[in-house]
Amino acid sequence: MPIATVNPANGETFKTYEAMGEEEIERRLQLAEATFRTYRTTTLAERARLLHRAADLLGEDQQDIARVMTLEMGKPVKQARAEAAKCAKAMHWYADHAEELLADEEPAASDVKDSGASRALVRYRPLGPVLAVMPWNFPLWQVIRFAAPALMAGNVGLLKHASNVPQTALYLEDLFHRAGFTEGTFQTLLVGSGAVDEILRDDRVKAATLTGSEPAGRAVASTAGEMIKKTVLELGGSDPYVVMPSADIDRAAQVAVTARVQNNGQSCIAAKRFIVHTDVYDAFAERFVAGMKALKVGDPLAEDTEVGPLASEQGRSDLEELVDDARRGGASVLCGGERPDGDGWYYPPTVLAGITREMRIHREEAFGPVATLYRAADLDEAVLIANDSPFGLSSNVWTRDETDVDRFVRDLEAGGVYVNGMTASHPAFPFGGVKRSGYGRELSGHGIREFCNITTVWHGA
Protein backbone atom coordinates (compact mmCIF):
# COMPACT_ATOMS: atom_id res chain seq x y z
CA MET A 1 0.00 0.00 0.00
CA PRO A 2 1.49 3.40 -0.96
CA ILE A 3 2.07 5.99 1.72
CA ALA A 4 -0.31 8.63 0.47
CA THR A 5 -3.22 10.89 1.30
CA VAL A 6 -6.18 9.81 -0.84
CA ASN A 7 -9.38 11.77 -0.33
CA PRO A 8 -12.12 9.14 0.20
CA ALA A 9 -14.80 11.63 -0.78
CA ASN A 10 -13.60 11.62 -4.39
CA GLY A 11 -10.72 9.14 -4.69
CA GLU A 12 -8.20 11.87 -5.48
CA THR A 13 -4.58 11.31 -4.44
CA PHE A 14 -3.10 14.65 -3.52
CA LYS A 15 0.01 13.88 -1.49
CA THR A 16 2.43 10.95 -1.58
CA TYR A 17 5.52 10.10 0.46
CA GLU A 18 8.54 7.89 -0.03
CA ALA A 19 8.91 5.16 2.56
CA MET A 20 11.92 5.57 4.82
CA GLY A 21 14.88 3.43 3.86
CA GLU A 22 17.02 1.21 6.07
CA GLU A 23 19.52 3.99 6.85
CA GLU A 24 16.84 6.37 8.07
CA ILE A 25 15.14 3.68 10.14
CA GLU A 26 18.49 2.82 11.71
CA ARG A 27 19.17 6.49 12.47
CA ARG A 28 15.83 6.80 14.21
CA LEU A 29 16.29 3.63 16.23
CA GLN A 30 19.69 4.85 17.38
CA LEU A 31 18.16 8.19 18.29
CA ALA A 32 15.33 6.55 20.24
CA GLU A 33 17.77 4.45 22.24
CA ALA A 34 20.05 7.41 22.99
CA THR A 35 17.16 9.69 23.90
CA PHE A 36 15.67 7.14 26.28
CA ARG A 37 18.88 7.01 28.32
CA THR A 38 18.42 10.67 29.26
CA TYR A 39 14.64 11.07 29.02
CA ARG A 40 14.05 8.29 31.53
CA THR A 41 15.83 10.42 34.16
CA THR A 42 13.60 13.47 33.72
CA THR A 43 11.18 14.28 36.50
CA LEU A 44 7.47 13.71 36.26
CA ALA A 45 7.02 17.44 36.69
CA GLU A 46 9.14 18.14 33.61
CA ARG A 47 7.31 15.54 31.54
CA ALA A 48 3.99 16.99 32.67
CA ARG A 49 5.09 20.49 31.67
CA LEU A 50 5.96 19.29 28.17
CA LEU A 51 2.76 17.27 27.78
CA HIS A 52 0.60 20.19 28.91
CA ARG A 53 2.36 22.31 26.29
CA ALA A 54 1.69 19.71 23.59
CA ALA A 55 -1.98 19.65 24.58
CA ASP A 56 -2.20 23.43 24.37
CA LEU A 57 -0.62 23.41 20.92
CA LEU A 58 -3.06 20.75 19.76
CA GLY A 59 -5.90 22.96 20.93
CA GLU A 60 -4.51 25.81 18.85
CA ASP A 61 -4.17 23.50 15.85
CA GLN A 62 -7.63 21.96 16.22
CA GLN A 63 -9.23 23.41 13.09
CA ASP A 64 -6.30 22.64 10.80
CA ILE A 65 -5.59 19.11 11.98
CA ALA A 66 -9.31 18.29 11.88
CA ARG A 67 -9.39 19.21 8.20
CA VAL A 68 -6.32 17.05 7.55
CA MET A 69 -7.93 14.04 9.25
CA THR A 70 -11.13 14.50 7.25
CA LEU A 71 -9.25 14.74 3.96
CA GLU A 72 -7.19 11.66 4.79
CA MET A 73 -9.84 9.25 6.08
CA GLY A 74 -13.25 10.83 5.59
CA LYS A 75 -14.73 11.40 9.04
CA PRO A 76 -17.16 14.35 9.30
CA VAL A 77 -15.14 17.43 10.16
CA LYS A 78 -17.21 18.14 13.28
CA GLN A 79 -16.21 14.71 14.60
CA ALA A 80 -12.60 15.38 13.66
CA ARG A 81 -12.58 18.56 15.74
CA ALA A 82 -14.11 16.63 18.65
CA GLU A 83 -11.36 14.01 18.30
CA ALA A 84 -8.66 16.67 18.53
CA ALA A 85 -10.30 18.17 21.62
CA LYS A 86 -10.55 14.72 23.21
CA CYS A 87 -6.83 14.15 22.62
CA ALA A 88 -5.91 17.43 24.27
CA LYS A 89 -8.11 16.53 27.25
CA ALA A 90 -6.40 13.15 27.65
CA MET A 91 -2.95 14.73 27.47
CA HIS A 92 -3.85 17.21 30.21
CA TRP A 93 -5.35 14.36 32.27
CA TYR A 94 -2.19 12.25 32.17
CA ALA A 95 0.00 15.27 32.83
CA ASP A 96 -2.11 15.97 35.93
CA HIS A 97 -2.45 12.39 37.20
CA ALA A 98 0.71 10.49 36.23
CA GLU A 99 2.49 11.23 39.47
CA GLU A 100 -0.20 9.59 41.59
CA LEU A 101 -0.67 6.73 39.11
CA LEU A 102 3.03 5.92 39.16
CA ALA A 103 3.65 6.58 42.85
CA ASP A 104 5.69 4.02 44.76
CA GLU A 105 3.50 1.38 46.41
CA GLU A 106 4.28 0.25 49.94
CA PRO A 107 3.18 -3.25 51.01
CA ALA A 108 1.51 -3.76 54.35
CA ALA A 109 3.94 -3.34 57.27
CA SER A 110 3.21 -6.88 58.44
CA ASP A 111 4.22 -8.28 55.02
CA VAL A 112 7.40 -6.21 54.95
CA LYS A 113 8.33 -7.53 58.39
CA ASP A 114 7.43 -11.09 57.44
CA SER A 115 9.72 -10.89 54.38
CA GLY A 116 12.66 -10.02 56.61
CA ALA A 117 12.98 -6.49 55.24
CA SER A 118 13.39 -3.23 57.07
CA ARG A 119 11.41 -1.59 54.29
CA ALA A 120 10.13 -2.47 50.81
CA LEU A 121 8.28 -0.85 47.95
CA VAL A 122 7.13 -1.34 44.38
CA ARG A 123 8.38 1.18 41.83
CA TYR A 124 7.24 1.71 38.23
CA ARG A 125 10.14 2.25 35.85
CA PRO A 126 9.99 2.79 32.06
CA LEU A 127 10.88 0.02 29.63
CA GLY A 128 12.41 1.97 26.75
CA PRO A 129 11.44 2.59 23.11
CA VAL A 130 7.91 1.32 22.44
CA LEU A 131 6.67 0.65 18.90
CA ALA A 132 3.08 1.75 18.27
CA VAL A 133 1.36 0.30 15.20
CA MET A 134 -1.75 2.41 14.78
CA PRO A 135 -4.85 2.47 12.51
CA TRP A 136 -6.44 5.17 10.42
CA ASN A 137 -9.95 5.33 11.88
CA PHE A 138 -9.11 7.64 14.82
CA PRO A 139 -5.74 8.84 13.53
CA LEU A 140 -5.08 11.23 16.43
CA TRP A 141 -6.85 9.54 19.33
CA GLN A 142 -5.46 6.05 18.84
CA VAL A 143 -1.93 7.47 18.99
CA ILE A 144 -2.44 9.91 21.85
CA ARG A 145 -4.04 7.33 24.13
CA PHE A 146 -0.76 5.39 23.80
CA ALA A 147 1.65 8.32 23.65
CA ALA A 148 0.40 10.39 26.59
CA PRO A 149 0.78 7.65 29.23
CA ALA A 150 3.90 6.15 27.65
CA LEU A 151 5.75 9.46 27.61
CA MET A 152 4.65 10.32 31.13
CA ALA A 153 6.00 6.94 32.29
CA GLY A 154 9.41 7.83 30.83
CA ASN A 155 9.27 5.71 27.68
CA VAL A 156 9.96 7.01 24.17
CA GLY A 157 7.66 6.32 21.22
CA LEU A 158 8.11 5.02 17.69
CA LEU A 159 4.95 5.42 15.62
CA LYS A 160 4.19 3.26 12.59
CA HIS A 161 0.91 4.79 11.50
CA ALA A 162 -1.50 3.55 8.82
CA SER A 163 -0.20 4.35 5.35
CA ASN A 164 -3.28 6.36 4.36
CA VAL A 165 -2.84 9.00 7.11
CA PRO A 166 0.78 10.14 6.63
CA GLN A 167 0.07 13.83 7.20
CA THR A 168 -1.53 13.12 10.56
CA ALA A 169 1.42 10.88 11.46
CA LEU A 170 3.96 13.57 10.63
CA TYR A 171 1.90 16.17 12.47
CA LEU A 172 2.11 14.12 15.67
CA GLU A 173 5.91 13.99 15.56
CA ASP A 174 6.04 17.72 14.92
CA LEU A 175 3.55 18.43 17.73
CA PHE A 176 5.71 16.80 20.39
CA HIS A 177 8.85 18.43 19.02
CA ARG A 178 7.25 21.91 19.08
CA ALA A 179 6.15 21.28 22.66
CA GLY A 180 9.78 20.90 23.70
CA PHE A 181 10.27 17.14 23.79
CA THR A 182 13.72 16.29 22.45
CA GLU A 183 13.87 14.99 18.90
CA GLY A 184 14.03 11.29 19.68
CA THR A 185 11.27 11.20 22.30
CA PHE A 186 8.50 10.63 19.78
CA GLN A 187 9.27 9.72 16.18
CA THR A 188 7.12 8.80 13.20
CA LEU A 189 8.37 5.99 10.98
CA LEU A 190 6.99 6.41 7.47
CA VAL A 191 7.19 2.75 6.52
CA GLY A 192 4.88 0.14 5.10
CA SER A 193 3.48 -2.75 7.08
CA GLY A 194 6.19 -5.04 5.71
CA ALA A 195 8.82 -3.19 7.76
CA VAL A 196 7.13 -3.78 11.12
CA ASP A 197 8.50 -7.27 11.72
CA GLU A 198 12.14 -6.27 11.39
CA ILE A 199 11.70 -3.16 13.53
CA LEU A 200 9.96 -5.15 16.26
CA ARG A 201 12.76 -7.71 16.23
CA ASP A 202 15.35 -5.02 16.89
CA ASP A 203 16.71 -5.30 20.45
CA ARG A 204 16.39 -1.55 20.94
CA VAL A 205 12.60 -1.81 20.72
CA LYS A 206 11.42 -3.07 24.09
CA ALA A 207 7.67 -3.45 23.60
CA ALA A 208 4.83 -2.88 21.16
CA THR A 209 1.22 -1.81 21.10
CA LEU A 210 -1.13 -2.34 18.19
CA THR A 211 -4.63 -1.21 17.43
CA GLY A 212 -5.98 -2.72 14.26
CA SER A 213 -7.16 -5.85 12.55
CA GLU A 214 -7.02 -9.37 13.91
CA PRO A 215 -4.46 -10.51 11.26
CA ALA A 216 -2.20 -7.56 12.10
CA GLY A 217 -2.52 -8.35 15.79
CA ARG A 218 -1.63 -11.98 15.21
CA ALA A 219 1.49 -10.98 13.25
CA VAL A 220 2.75 -8.52 15.87
CA ALA A 221 1.93 -10.85 18.77
CA SER A 222 3.71 -13.73 17.05
CA THR A 223 6.92 -11.77 16.51
CA ALA A 224 6.79 -10.20 19.95
CA GLY A 225 6.23 -13.61 21.50
CA GLU A 226 9.23 -15.02 19.66
CA MET A 227 11.34 -12.09 20.88
CA ILE A 228 9.75 -12.21 24.37
CA LYS A 229 8.53 -8.62 24.29
CA LYS A 230 5.52 -7.12 26.01
CA THR A 231 2.52 -6.27 23.81
CA VAL A 232 -0.87 -4.66 24.18
CA LEU A 233 -3.42 -5.44 21.46
CA GLU A 234 -6.73 -3.71 20.76
CA LEU A 235 -8.28 -5.49 17.80
CA GLY A 236 -11.73 -5.76 16.29
CA GLY A 237 -15.11 -5.56 17.91
CA SER A 238 -18.71 -6.45 17.15
CA ASP A 239 -20.28 -4.92 20.22
CA PRO A 240 -23.78 -5.95 21.34
CA TYR A 241 -26.40 -3.32 22.13
CA VAL A 242 -29.07 -4.98 24.25
CA VAL A 243 -32.48 -3.38 24.79
CA MET A 244 -34.77 -4.76 27.51
CA PRO A 245 -38.49 -4.03 28.13
CA SER A 246 -37.88 -1.55 30.97
CA ALA A 247 -35.65 0.66 28.81
CA ASP A 248 -36.50 4.14 27.60
CA ILE A 249 -37.12 2.97 24.03
CA ASP A 250 -37.12 6.42 22.43
CA ARG A 251 -33.78 7.27 24.01
CA ALA A 252 -32.32 3.83 23.34
CA ALA A 253 -33.18 4.06 19.64
CA GLN A 254 -31.84 7.61 19.35
CA VAL A 255 -28.51 6.73 20.95
CA ALA A 256 -28.36 3.51 18.92
CA VAL A 257 -28.13 5.49 15.69
CA THR A 258 -25.14 7.48 16.95
CA ALA A 259 -23.57 4.37 18.45
CA ARG A 260 -23.72 2.61 15.08
CA VAL A 261 -22.65 5.39 12.68
CA GLN A 262 -20.07 7.30 14.72
CA ASN A 263 -16.94 7.80 12.61
CA ASN A 264 -18.92 6.63 9.55
CA GLY A 265 -19.44 3.32 11.35
CA GLN A 266 -15.71 2.62 11.31
CA SER A 267 -15.09 2.17 15.01
CA CYS A 268 -14.09 -0.95 16.91
CA ILE A 269 -16.31 0.09 19.82
CA ALA A 270 -19.30 1.06 17.69
CA ALA A 271 -22.42 -0.90 18.57
CA LYS A 272 -22.98 -3.31 15.69
CA ARG A 273 -25.38 -6.04 16.87
CA PHE A 274 -28.69 -4.74 18.24
CA ILE A 275 -30.31 -7.40 20.42
CA VAL A 276 -33.83 -6.40 21.41
CA HIS A 277 -36.29 -8.14 23.73
CA THR A 278 -39.30 -9.36 21.76
CA ASP A 279 -41.71 -7.26 23.85
CA VAL A 280 -40.16 -4.01 22.57
CA TYR A 281 -38.58 -5.23 19.33
CA ASP A 282 -41.09 -3.68 16.94
CA ALA A 283 -41.15 -0.32 18.71
CA PHE A 284 -37.37 -0.12 18.82
CA ALA A 285 -36.90 -1.29 15.22
CA GLU A 286 -39.35 1.30 13.89
CA ARG A 287 -37.58 4.16 15.67
CA PHE A 288 -34.08 2.89 14.92
CA VAL A 289 -34.68 2.42 11.19
CA ALA A 290 -36.32 5.84 10.95
CA GLY A 291 -33.29 7.39 12.63
CA MET A 292 -30.86 5.63 10.31
CA LYS A 293 -32.86 6.74 7.24
CA ALA A 294 -32.85 10.36 8.41
CA LEU A 295 -29.07 10.69 8.60
CA LYS A 296 -27.45 13.15 6.21
CA VAL A 297 -24.79 11.47 4.09
CA GLY A 298 -22.44 13.71 2.15
CA ASP A 299 -19.27 15.77 1.94
CA PRO A 300 -17.39 15.19 5.21
CA LEU A 301 -16.11 18.78 5.15
CA ALA A 302 -19.69 20.11 5.31
CA GLU A 303 -20.77 21.06 8.81
CA ASP A 304 -24.15 19.37 8.55
CA THR A 305 -22.87 16.00 7.30
CA GLU A 306 -23.50 13.14 9.72
CA VAL A 307 -22.05 10.25 7.67
CA GLY A 308 -19.17 10.61 5.24
CA PRO A 309 -17.45 8.10 2.96
CA LEU A 310 -15.67 4.98 4.05
CA ALA A 311 -11.91 5.38 4.25
CA SER A 312 -11.05 3.15 1.30
CA GLU A 313 -12.54 1.50 -1.74
CA GLN A 314 -11.52 -1.90 -0.34
CA GLY A 315 -13.30 -1.14 2.91
CA ARG A 316 -16.52 -0.43 1.05
CA SER A 317 -16.18 -3.60 -1.02
CA ASP A 318 -15.64 -5.67 2.13
CA LEU A 319 -18.76 -4.18 3.69
CA GLU A 320 -20.83 -4.80 0.57
CA GLU A 321 -19.77 -8.45 0.57
CA LEU A 322 -21.05 -8.89 4.13
CA VAL A 323 -24.39 -7.28 3.28
CA ASP A 324 -24.78 -9.28 0.07
CA ASP A 325 -23.96 -12.53 1.88
CA ALA A 326 -26.62 -11.77 4.50
CA ARG A 327 -29.15 -10.90 1.82
CA ARG A 328 -28.49 -14.18 0.01
CA GLY A 329 -28.95 -15.99 3.33
CA GLY A 330 -32.41 -14.53 3.79
CA ALA A 331 -31.79 -11.36 5.81
CA SER A 332 -34.23 -8.49 5.37
CA VAL A 333 -32.83 -5.09 4.38
CA LEU A 334 -34.87 -2.55 6.36
CA CYS A 335 -33.00 0.42 4.93
CA GLY A 336 -29.92 1.12 2.80
CA GLY A 337 -27.99 -1.82 1.42
CA GLU A 338 -27.18 -0.36 -2.02
CA ARG A 339 -24.05 1.47 -3.17
CA PRO A 340 -24.92 5.02 -4.26
CA ASP A 341 -23.92 6.48 -7.61
CA GLY A 342 -21.23 9.12 -7.82
CA ASP A 343 -17.67 9.70 -6.69
CA GLY A 344 -16.24 8.64 -3.37
CA TRP A 345 -16.47 5.51 -1.25
CA TYR A 346 -19.88 6.13 0.26
CA TYR A 347 -22.20 3.50 1.69
CA PRO A 348 -25.63 4.30 3.12
CA PRO A 349 -26.71 3.66 6.71
CA THR A 350 -28.12 0.13 6.57
CA VAL A 351 -30.18 -2.07 8.90
CA LEU A 352 -30.44 -5.82 8.43
CA ALA A 353 -32.90 -8.11 10.25
CA GLY A 354 -33.39 -11.85 10.33
CA ILE A 355 -29.73 -12.61 10.94
CA THR A 356 -28.73 -16.25 11.37
CA ARG A 357 -25.54 -17.86 12.66
CA GLU A 358 -24.68 -19.02 9.14
CA MET A 359 -24.28 -15.48 7.83
CA ARG A 360 -20.79 -14.00 7.76
CA ILE A 361 -21.99 -10.76 9.30
CA HIS A 362 -23.00 -12.67 12.44
CA ARG A 363 -19.38 -13.55 13.19
CA GLU A 364 -17.37 -10.94 11.27
CA GLU A 365 -16.96 -7.24 12.06
CA ALA A 366 -18.94 -4.88 9.82
CA PHE A 367 -16.66 -1.85 9.56
CA GLY A 368 -19.10 0.71 8.26
CA PRO A 369 -22.63 2.01 8.90
CA VAL A 370 -24.38 -1.37 8.82
CA ALA A 371 -26.43 -2.59 11.81
CA THR A 372 -27.86 -6.05 12.47
CA LEU A 373 -31.08 -6.55 14.43
CA TYR A 374 -31.78 -9.61 16.59
CA ARG A 375 -34.92 -10.56 18.50
CA ALA A 376 -34.41 -12.11 21.98
CA ALA A 377 -37.15 -13.94 23.88
CA ASP A 378 -35.70 -13.10 27.30
CA LEU A 379 -32.57 -12.00 29.14
CA ASP A 380 -30.95 -15.42 28.88
CA GLU A 381 -31.29 -15.48 25.11
CA ALA A 382 -30.02 -11.89 24.89
CA VAL A 383 -26.86 -12.91 26.74
CA LEU A 384 -26.41 -15.97 24.53
CA ILE A 385 -26.68 -13.89 21.35
CA ALA A 386 -24.41 -11.18 22.74
CA ASN A 387 -21.69 -13.68 23.63
CA ASP A 388 -22.02 -15.63 20.38
CA SER A 389 -19.16 -13.69 18.81
CA PRO A 390 -15.40 -14.15 18.54
CA PHE A 391 -15.03 -10.58 19.79
CA GLY A 392 -15.37 -9.10 23.26
CA LEU A 393 -14.44 -5.43 23.20
CA SER A 394 -17.35 -3.61 24.82
CA SER A 395 -21.12 -3.84 25.24
CA ASN A 396 -24.18 -1.68 25.77
CA VAL A 397 -27.22 -2.53 27.89
CA TRP A 398 -30.46 -0.59 28.13
CA THR A 399 -32.64 -1.43 31.15
CA ARG A 400 -34.03 0.18 34.30
CA ASP A 401 -34.03 -3.13 36.15
CA GLU A 402 -31.02 -3.47 38.48
CA THR A 403 -31.39 -7.25 38.49
CA ASP A 404 -30.91 -7.15 34.71
CA VAL A 405 -27.85 -4.95 35.15
CA ASP A 406 -26.27 -7.35 37.62
CA ARG A 407 -26.80 -10.28 35.25
CA PHE A 408 -25.36 -8.48 32.25
CA VAL A 409 -22.31 -7.24 34.17
CA ARG A 410 -21.73 -10.77 35.44
CA ASP A 411 -22.30 -12.64 32.18
CA LEU A 412 -21.37 -10.48 29.18
CA GLU A 413 -17.98 -11.40 27.73
CA ALA A 414 -16.58 -7.93 27.10
CA GLY A 415 -14.04 -5.46 28.41
CA GLY A 416 -16.77 -2.94 29.21
CA VAL A 417 -20.48 -2.84 30.03
CA TYR A 418 -22.14 0.53 29.41
CA VAL A 419 -25.59 0.81 30.95
CA ASN A 420 -28.16 3.18 29.39
CA GLY A 421 -25.55 4.84 27.19
CA MET A 422 -23.14 4.16 24.37
CA THR A 423 -19.57 2.99 24.73
CA ALA A 424 -17.07 5.83 24.87
CA SER A 425 -13.46 5.98 26.01
CA HIS A 426 -12.26 8.34 28.73
CA PRO A 427 -8.71 8.68 30.09
CA ALA A 428 -9.80 7.73 33.62
CA PHE A 429 -11.28 4.35 32.66
CA PRO A 430 -9.42 1.27 31.36
CA PHE A 431 -10.08 0.35 27.75
CA GLY A 432 -9.58 -3.01 26.04
CA GLY A 433 -11.19 -6.33 25.37
CA VAL A 434 -11.19 -10.09 25.69
CA LYS A 435 -11.35 -13.01 23.25
CA ARG A 436 -10.24 -11.96 19.77
CA SER A 437 -10.58 -8.28 20.62
CA GLY A 438 -7.12 -8.46 22.16
CA TYR A 439 -5.50 -8.18 25.57
CA GLY A 440 -4.01 -5.60 27.87
CA ARG A 441 -5.53 -2.24 28.69
CA GLU A 442 -5.10 1.32 27.53
CA LEU A 443 -5.96 4.48 29.48
CA SER A 444 -6.33 4.95 33.25
CA GLY A 445 -3.70 3.76 35.69
CA HIS A 446 -3.83 0.32 34.10
CA GLY A 447 -2.78 1.79 30.77
CA ILE A 448 0.15 3.86 32.04
CA ARG A 449 1.55 0.86 33.88
CA GLU A 450 1.34 -1.54 30.89
CA PHE A 451 4.75 -0.41 29.63
CA CYS A 452 6.51 -0.19 32.95
CA ASN A 453 9.06 -2.40 34.65
CA ILE A 454 7.18 -3.17 37.87
CA THR A 455 10.12 -3.33 40.23
CA THR A 456 10.30 -4.70 43.76
CA VAL A 457 12.74 -2.75 45.95
CA TRP A 458 13.67 -4.63 49.14
CA HIS A 459 15.92 -3.47 51.98
CA GLY A 460 17.35 -5.90 54.47
CA ALA A 461 16.87 -5.41 58.20
How far is it, in rounded angstroms, from Cα 413 to Cα 394?
8
Radius of gyration of the chain (CA): 23
Residue 439 pairs in a beta bridge with 233
Contact between 209 and 22 under an 8 Å Cβ cutoff? The reply is no
Question: Residue 256: helix, strand or coil by DSSP?
Answer: helix
How far is it, in rounded angstroms, from Cα 44 to Cα 154?
8
Which residues have a catalytic role annotated? 234, 268
Contact between 122 and 104 under an 8 Å Cβ cutoff? The reply is yes
Across 166-292, the runs of DSSP E, i.e. the strands, are 186-188, 207-211, 230-234, 239-243, 271-277
How far is it, in rounded angstroms, from Cα 309 to Cα 74?
6
How far is it, in rounded angstroms, from Cα 206 to Cα 219?
17
By the 10 Å C-beta count (0-12 exposed, 13-18 middle, 19+ buried), 419 is classed as middle
Question: Residue 450: helix, strand or coil by DSSP?
Answer: coil
Q: Which of 388, 347, 339, 403 is nearest to 371 (CA)?
A: 347
DSSP string covering 63-115:
HHHHHHHHHHH---HHHHHHHHHHHHHHHHHHHHHHHHHT--B---HHHHHHT
Distances (CA, A) of 315 to 8, 171, 246, 264, 310: 11, 25, 37, 12, 7
How far is it, in rounded angstroms, from Cα 261 to Cα 241?
13
Pairing of strands 129-133, 207-211: parallel
How far is it, in rounded angstroms, from Cα 453 to Cα 449?
8
List the end-to-end C-alpha distance of the chain, in Å, as a whole number.
Answer: 61
